[in-house]
Structure 1
Amino acid sequence: MAGILIIAHAPLATALRECIAHIYGGCPARIGALDVLPDSDPVEVVAQATAEIERLREDNGALVLTDMFGATPSNIAARLATVPQVRVLAGVNLPMLVRAVCYRTTSLDMLVEKALAGASKGIQAIGPGTPAPEYGCSPTPCAEAAADAAEQAAAGATDNVKAASGLSAGVLKPAGAT
């Protein structure tokens, strides 16, 4: 299961991690947050971020999510992109983070793909004429992750992929989800 580190302008990183704890009824393991303050020393924050990546990284690596490309937090995160089995994405939003948590058991490349899709699909213009989703709400990303894993298992995927369809394998579902 990939570790996830959020690096963002204070207090966004901590707030996003707290949102995940709210959604899942507790913060899943191996999710870190690093808030960058206006007076933070970038050299010190890079050292903290490097230590966090070493603490959070798992067999399939780590994903670093940062807020705004080109700003200090993303410049710090970019330094981690040279670490083996670490990927960095800028433009974090809550749908991206939820999707990343749901797909942590997949390969790092698939995790990046799913997180990016979650970020872009989570951006919608809502107005008086906007139709509601067919079932009143969009399917949860975790339900999609379970469906993807079941589809792969049906196609004869490996035992590791088959295991990704259940909670015991690390696929998390939002509190109240069935």
Structure 2
Amino acid sequence: MTIYDYKIKTSSGLTRGMNRYKGKVMLIVNTATNCGFTPQLEDLQKIQARYEEQGLQVLAFPSNQFDDQEPLKDGEITEYCALNFGVNFPIFKKIDVRDKDAHPLFQYLSEQKSFEGFNTEHPTAKLLMAILNEKYPHYMEGNSIKWNFTKFLVNRDGEVVQRFESTTEPLEMEEDIKALL
């Protein structure tokens, strides 16, 4: 199975195949509108605008699995992201990205690229680690998604080539993205 075999739902409920992004470099992100990492949406949009014509596609998948940080409904999420961060890349239907009900796409992504730790130099890293250790220690087991704004970089052939955790800012990934374009 490849990434192109997965089906996803738009925020309006339409089913789409990932094969519509065949030949593009994809940056797939699980998002939330009420998270300390939510401002990353602004830089994700900058990257989308900067490299869209060269074949980059940012894809956002909202999830409410991390401390209930995505309280909005699907259409509200899209509107909020557009109004507050200028987002115009696709934002899909809210899904689970970890545990038994995780969307198959995120199960696949997590299997393709292992969790290698957080960037401990990030200003929010200590707070994130404290929350995980205190409230959700089981999240640290295995390779599943650990928190909002985990980012997967997929090359034009559909191969998952890199995983960036919440504590990696989008602009820090720019050279990796350019190398695939």
Tell whether the structures are fold-level matches, with TM greater than 0.5.
no
User: What's the TM-score bracket when you normalise by the shorter of the two chains?
Assistant: under 0.3
- Normalising by structure 1, what TM-score? 0.27
More helix, by proportion: 1
The structure, 1 or 2, with the larger RCO (C-alpha pairs under 8 Å, 6+ apart) is: 2
Point out the structure with max Rg over C-alpha: 1
